[in-house]
Amino acid sequence: MPVVPAVAVLLCLLLVGNLPLITWARFLGWMAAGLLIHLCWGRRHSKVATGELAAGATPGTAEDHAMAEGRRASRGGRSGR
């Protein structure tokens, strides 16, 4: 086991463990606020919510789908659409 990474982890845990409780409270408060913003923004701007992704469709960009269709066509396969 490498010694330097293990010592670095232990020293980081020591530093973080010695932080005052108010620092942890602020950290958790800001983390909760950030998570709430992230979830609300993501829900509103997701491809499913905006209708860009139909139910049962595969996520990806239009270029991804076009490239996949091109590969299927070049192999002689059916696209199924």
Q: Which pLDDT score is estimated for 27?
A: 96
**Between 4 and 45, the higher pLDDT residue:** 4
Per-residue pLDDT tens digits for 31-79 = 999 999 999 998 888 877 777 776 666 666 666 666 666 665 555 555 5
Answer yes or no: is pLDDT of 80 > 90: no
Q: Which pLDDT score is estimated for 43?
A: 83
DSSP assignment of 14-74, as one string? HHHHTS-HHHHHHHHHHHHHHHHHHHHHHHHHSHHHHTSS-TTPPPS-HHHHHHHHHHHHH
Per-residue pLDDT tens digits for 13-34 = 999 999 999 999 999 999 999 9
